[in-house]
Amino acid sequence: MRGYLTAALAVALPLAAISQTQTPPSAGQAELEKLQLERSQRMQAASKELKGEVTATKMAKLQDDYAKIYQDLWPRYEKLAKTSKGGVQVRARLDMIQLAQMGRKYEQIEAIANAIVKENRNVAETAQAVTVLSRLGMALGGGMSAKNAEEQKAATLLGQKKVGAYLAALEKSKNPVVRAGVLYYQAQAERDATKKSAMFAQLLEKYPTTDYGKMAQAARFEAENLQIGKAAPNFTATDENGKTFTLADYKGKVVVLDFWGFW
């Protein structure tokens, strides 16, 4: 349970960051930001319960807190999703998926996912939904209520089938950003290095100006060069004494590379 709740938290928190614009936000945008701030603050406050030793009592308290957040915010999110359109509607619905997970209302997740795919397919922000939808297999397949390994397996297969249908629908989006998002996810999920590289190359060719196209360049380099058994790419750097060196200077020797920085 702890892992599932942590995953739910991780999925939604990045979505709370709304890009700043030079124009005043619309009423829908302002309400969305207000809801996201409240949701984020309450989730962070609830997660503090897990500090120190994690016990069954703490997990039960966390689930109760999450259920209360769901109860309080769901009606407001539902109203916003019905009265807004475009990117605001998409982001509201993505937040609602997380709320449904927190409240253990798994039957509501599929309805929201269907609405995103059918009504928001051509909205650029729907590209954000690709990763979220791809992680819903267990919930969509009924895996959270499985009683044994056989039911768990069946739920996993059903969930994967539904996720595949969603991604196939989004592949037909009229918005290139959404199509690029689907292809980027598929490339990241591909385990075969050759196929992965080919998919990133396709992404760079078809959608070079999208953010996903730009990310594909670095991802393709990683897939082709930064793998176990590959020779490390040569580079030049300066040591702690100000002396310039290249990795090739140490060819034939054992080298330990320690990458660090401040963010």
135 within domain boundaries? no
pLDDT tens digits, residue range 222-234?
766 666 767 777 8
154 within domain boundaries? no
134 has a pLDDT exceeding 60: yes
pTM of the shown model? 0.74
pLDDT tens digits, residue range 30-77?
999 999 999 999 999 999 888 888 899 999 999 999 999 999 999 999
Least confident of 97-106, 195-204, 244-253: 244-253
pLDDT tens digits, residue range 93-116?
999 999 999 999 988 999 999 999
46 within domain boundaries? yes
2 within domain boundaries? yes
How many structural domains compose the chain?
Answer: 1
83 within domain boundaries? yes
Residue 206 CB coordination number (10 Å): 14
φ, ψ of residue 102 in degrees (nearest 5): -65, -35
Residues 6+ apart with CB under 8 A from 39: 12, 16, 69, 73, 95, 99
182 within domain boundaries? no
Cα separation, 99 vs 35, in Å, equals 12
Give the per-residue pLDDT at 20: 47
194 within domain boundaries? no
Q: Which residues constitute the domain of residue 30? A: 1-130
Pairing mode, strands 244-246 and 236-238: antiparallel
55 within domain boundaries? yes
163 has a pLDDT exceeding 50: yes
171 has a pLDDT exceeding 50: yes
Tokens of 10: 């991780």
Cα separation, 18 vs 88, in Å, equals 10
For the chain, how many helices (H) and strands (E)? Answer: 11, 2
201 has a pLDDT exceeding 80: yes
